[in-house]
Amino acid sequence: MNRRNFLSAGIAAGLLGGMPSWAKSAMIQQPLAPSDHKMIWAYLIHLSYNMWEDNTPEEFRDPDKKCDDCPTARAWSHKYQPNLTFDQPVWDTVISDMAAAGMNMLIIDLGDAVLYDSHPEIAVRNAWTPDKLRSELAKIRKLGIEPIPKLNFATTHDTWMGEYSKMVSSRKYYEVCSDLIREVSELFDRPRYFHLGMDEETAEHQERWDYVVIRKNNVWWGDLYFLISEVEKQGVRPWVWSDYAWKQPDIFFKKMPKSVMQSNWYYGGFSDADLSDSVNRTYVQLYDKLEQYGYDQIPTGSNFSSDSNMKETFDYCNKIIDPSRLYGYMTAPWHPTMLQCQPRLREAVKQVGSLIK
* Residues 32-54: tens digit of each pLDDT: 344 468 999 999 999 999 998 76
pLDDT tens by residue, 261-293: 999 999 999 999 999 999 999 999 999 999 999
Binned at pLDDT 50, 70 and 90, residue 11 comes out as: very low
For the entire predicted model, the pTM comes to 0.88
Query: In sequence order, what are the beta bridge partners of 106?
Result: 43, 147
Binned at pLDDT 50, 70 and 90, residue 79 comes out as: confident
Sign of CA dihedral 292, 293, 298, 300: negative
Q: What percent of the chain has pLDDT over 90?
A: 80
pLDDT above 50 (res 22): no
Do the beta carbons of residue 47 and residue 88 sit within 8 Å?
no
- Residue 259: what pLDDT? 98
b/e 342-354 (16+ beta carbons within 10 angstroms → b): bebbbbbbebbee
240: Cβ–Cβ under 8 A, 6 or more apart, which residues? 195, 196, 197, 198, 199, 224, 260, 261, 262, 263
What CATH architecture does domain 39-353 belong to? Alpha-Beta Barrel (3.20)
- Between 11-25, 128-142, 292-306, 311-325, the lowest mean confidence (pLDDT) is in 11-25
User: Which residue from 94, 146, 108 is spatially nearest to 327, judged by alpha carbons?
Assistant: 146
pLDDT above 80 (res 190): yes
165: Cβ–Cβ under 8 A, 6 or more apart, which residues? 155, 158, 159, 213
Pairing of β 328-331 and β 6-8? unpaired
pLDDT tens by residue, 299-349: 999 999 999 999 999 999 999 999 999 999 999 999 999 999 999 999 999
Task: Give the integer Cα–Cα distance in Å for 289 and 292.
Answer: 5
Three-state SS sequence of the chain: CCCCCEEECCCCHHHHCCCCHHHHHHHCEEECCCCCCCCEEEEEEECCCCCCCCCCCHHHCCHHHCCCCCCCHHHHHCCCCCECCCCHHHHHHHHHHHHHHCCCEEEEECCCCECCCCCHHHCCECCECHHHHHHHHHHHHHCCCEEEEECCCCCCCCHHHHHHHHCCCCHHHHHHHHHHHHHHHHHCCCCCEEECCCCCCCCHHHCCCCCCCCCCHHHHHHHHHHHHHHHHHCCCEEEEECCHHHHCHHHHHHHCCCCCEEECECCCCCCHHHHCCHHHHHHHHHHHHHHHCCCCECCEECCCCCCCHHHHHHHHHHHHCCCCCECEEEECCCCCCCHHHHHHHHHHHHHHHCCCC
Q: Give the start-to-end residue ranges of the domains of the chain.
A: 39-353
